[in-house]
Amino acid sequence: MAVHPIDYRYGSPEMRRVFEEEQKLQRLLDVEAALARAHAAVGNISREEAEEITRKASTVYVRLSRVKEIEVAIKHDLMAVVEALAEACGEAGRAVHLGATSYDIIDTANALQFKAALSIVERDLEELEEVLLGLAEKHKSLVAVGRTHGQHATPITYGLKFALWSREIRRHLHRLKELKKRVLVGKMSGAVGTMASFGEKGFEIQDRVMQDLGLRPAMVSSQVVQRDRYAELLLFLALVAASLDKFGKEIRNLMRTEIAEVSEPFGAEQVGSSTMPHKRNPIDSEKVCGLARVVKSNVFPALENVSLEHERDLTNSSCERAIIPESFILLDEILKTMKKVLKGLVLHPEQIKKNLHLTRGLNMAEAVMLALVERGIPRQEAHRLMRKLSGEARAKGVGLVDVIKESGEMRKLLGDHPERFLDPESYIGTAVEQVERVLKAGRRK
């Protein structure tokens, strides 16, 4: 019976499969097989033994049910795998797990798991970046009101907003490239990291195993691969989740009834509320923001795992069983949900225009201030003057242009048509050019 929502609600089948018990067992067997091949290559066991171990290192022969049966008796999960594999190999079983400690196998298998999971994350990030670049290009000239502190500010373009997000995703892709060097790492160094159990061929055995599996060998380790690597991995997943949380929060706010500039995709049969038939709630963006909280919270135990005692203790093991699959699977759900939202995002140009002019020119006070500076008014004096006129416009409930026209001093400085300084379409600076630079940089990576 499923208990955790990741078993039945969250994450793609592809990502969940990476963390299924049978897949985990197969990766442990893959490492045991690679170790046997390395031992054969350096002459510690026969090639026939290595070939038999390799052939039997499969869930076809080593059944998960048998491993669990052994574990019930011996109370050691990895040793249960070793015994089940040795049992399947017959006489060649004597060479299974030769010289290795449990975490030589577990941590190396973890790296194989990370490799598979990160490839899915990387693909989703690349696809999300393309969606954002497409939105940036499509809306590069769509002028909207900018907002700071929740208040109307000077104009922006929607293209610039999407371009900004696309570069954040590109930075995550750069981080991921660097992260792989430090996280896709295995070890074969024995009980406390000395390689004593592998003798003088320890380095060669470790290098052969890692080359065989497509991983980097740890330069030095204790009984475990050091957990600063795992903490960095969880921090990376949390950082991606934080960005998607930001995107989701922005979409949710822009969907507010009194703003209503964008809408999530909404199906013909979709229900927004069980009691209010009119509702179209931002449920996907809210899901992104909610699940991001869980992914971010998993960073704390990952950081705690860095400080294991002496050459290691077992406090990392139990929480890693929870936080690693949970973080990957929930991030997978978040990424795929945000892709869906952005692919189907609906923008409402008329409402965007309405909001742009909602303050009746107050959001253009900076532009007028700079026009005054160009006409010889000291900057601080121009700022004071526009702050005074903005206050008057608010108090009277009129537009900024109206109080400007009432001022003889302002008419003298700005002429009889001050409205030309209050056109938000003409005050977007290099926004379009910035988007074009992002598009050019983004598509050549």
Tracing tokens 């900057």 back to the chain, one arrives at 379
Return phi, psi of residue 290, to 5°. -70, -45
Long-range contacts made by residues 389-392, C-beta under 8 angstroms, separation at least 24?
389/365, 390/362, 390/365
Round to the nearest angstrom and report the end-to-end CA distance of the chain.
45
Buried b (16+ CB within 10 A) or exposed e, 59-73: eeebebebbeebbee
CA 313, CA 315: separation in Å to the nearest integer?
6
Phi, psi for residue 291 in degrees, rounded to 5: -70, -30
Token readout for 25 is 């067992």
Label residues 5-38 b or e (16+ Cβ within 10 Å = b): ebeeebbeeebbebbeeebbbbbbbbbbbbbbbb
Among 149, 274, 278, 310, which one carries the catalytic annotation? 149
Q: Which regions of 267-370 does DSSP assign to beta strands (E)?
A: 346-347
Contacts of 11 (CB under 8 A, 6+ apart): 328, 329, 330, 332, 333
Which residues have C-beta within 8 Å of that of residue 18, sequence separation ≥ 6? 113, 116, 117, 120, 328
Taking a C-beta distance cutoff of 8 angstroms, is the pair 363, 154 a contact? Answer: yes
**Catalytic annotation on 189?**
no
Helix 77-89 and helix 21-41: axis angle, to 10°? 60
285 counts as catalytic = no
Distance CA 245, CA 289 (A): 5
Question: Which position among 46, 141, 273, 318 bears the catalytic label?
Answer: 273
Beta bridge partners of 216: 185
Instruction: State the Cα–Cα distance between residues 436 and 425, nearest whole angstrom.
Output: 18
Q: Which residue, 156, 152, 155, 143, is CA-closest to 358?
A: 152
**What are the catalytic residues?**
149, 273
